[in-house]
Chains A and B, each alone.
Chain A
Amino acid sequence: MKSILKRTSNKLGKVSKVLAVATLAAGISMANAADTIKVGVLHSLSGTMAISETTLKDTVLMMIEEQNKKGGLLGKQLEPVVVDPASNWPLFAEKTRELLSQEEVDVIFGCWTSVSRKSVLPVIEELNGLMFYPVQYEGEESSKNVFYTGAAPNQQAIPAVDYLLEEVGAKRFVLAGTDYVYPRTTNKILVSYLKSKGIAEEDIMVNYTPFGHSDWQTIVSDVKKFGSKGKKTAVVSTVNGDANVPFYKELANQGISSEDIPVVAFSVGEEELSGFDAKPLVGHLAAWNYFMSADSEENEKFITQWHAYTKDENRVTNDPMEATYIGFKMWAQAVEKAGSEDVDKVRSAMYGIKVPNLTGGTAVMNTNHHLSKPVLIGEIQEDGQFDIVWQTEGEVVGDAWTDFLPESKVLISDWTAPISCGNFNTVTKSCGGPALASEE
């Protein structure tokens, strides 16, 4: 009897303990939910991509700090949750799951490479998260749960080629890229665009190199030969990351100057240039939606804030940083507008939100989850900055599905009723489109 009593009381004790823990836990999570809005930061802090992505992590943290100083959002403080996916693509998916199901963040700012984004997609769609992706990419995608604040091909590649055709007068094109999905898709689009502009097949040379390629002798010499056929030649470079430095060095060493054969790059920005001696690059071009040298009040403010935050006068700003800035500002506005940090409410509030660009004008979020923003062409200067030599008139609407590939020409993306679909086929009038791109 005694023992039974003891046992029951023991049991009771256990139950009450469990209950207590449960209520405590609930209390904490409720308190958390009441006090803070969690912001996930999913950028690689180690591994090969750390070079580019750490800057974006710092940008998000800086924006959060600024927002908190203003009193946070909806009266709550923002709480950053930083994880390190370590440039490891499958780890991006795992970390996303961790952020959404364990940390229960309300929004994620993250990813750089397309393959990391593709690995995040299924998780974020399954758990109905919200992510802002701040890097220029190959397009052919529109997820309900992702807002793309970097450039789609028609906001970077196409205007850059227009500039080469019209202002530089180029008649022959070398499309040089690193061998992975972004350059391959972009070049596919560009080849079909160039052909539509009357450039003959033999006047286009496409070349791919492995990641981190460092021996450019043969390719540069081929470009030189290709350029001596009597027509103005230009190089469109989707060469990624580290491979750029030896590429430009070899160009300079073999005596190819920007006046003879200009190179327009889509992956070379201020940050990349701060890593090396820019003298041999002077006059080569880059196409972005933002340059640090842009003359505007917002930009001046942003740069000062960045320098103060990093405590380093020499840190540069770049395009993906602006995209992060715009994405963050838009999200903050949408949260205020929706009066809630709930993913679905914020998403509906996002459409039509306007944020001033750092280069002047305003960026608008469209219903295809892409931005409208201006496109700039800059010439590289000796100090690693860009001199803006050309700019689109007004903003360019980001196009999720390019009009220059037959299979995606018929697709549009619109996440508002009645379409509510990321790949709506305008011919068959059905959602789903051909099963390509998003699985690619």
Chain B
Amino acid sequence: MKKLITITLIFSTISIASFARKVGETEITTEEGIEVFQNEKYYLLKKNVNIQSDRFKIKANLVKAYFDKDLYDIIKIESEDNVRLRSSKGIIANGEKINFSIKNEDIEVYGERSSLIYNSINMFSNEKIRVNNLTGEFNLEGNESELKTSTIQIFGSIINGEFITINEINEVQNLYVEDSNQVNIITDNINMFALRAKYNKKENVIELFENVKVIRGNETIIGDYANINTLTESYKVISNDKKKVKAIIINDNE
């Protein structure tokens, strides 16, 4: 009889206590259930899945959550179908699929119209965006990939780089961009085109390689290589054939 009362009490206590998420806890809700694979160490969460913790929120329709030591120890979340991720550090990501490695703070966003906004840095792609919040590394793959900050806009099929965070502001430190058709970099005053481009914050330099075109105001310079100082916005354009650097200057007054 005592045992029966104890079990009944356990039932009642758990029913009352287990509803609301407290600070430090992670709450996961689903509409169509959960499958726990104990040997393979993952959960499968189905339909209208909401994951909420102090550090992040995820919404998706199908989620595979891998755990390490035990069920509570989630280390990686793979989400599919209309995924939205928000982190307490200011990351907002949307995509068809998002992989989130919790310990490494590594986020991969896949699919058309993928986006990842991290404070002042906006990333868009039709294939893949990857950001590692610990190292600051990021990679964008796919045609029409775009990286945008308040001062610069970059288009290419591959955009690789690194940022650092100072006082909650992310600043791009270096960049490599390429596109088999055309890379496009736009600042307030200069519009740049090439097949490849590099940017280095320390040296305040943008380098352009192959099929280079630099447009500033009324002047357009065409060549094979350009070196642009991002502070002074002065630039040098070089052609492989030294005679063939082409400058077009349009006078608005004429």
Q: Do A and B bind each other?
A: no
Question: Could you list which residues of chain B lie within 8 angstroms of chain A, going by C-beta atoms?
Answer: none
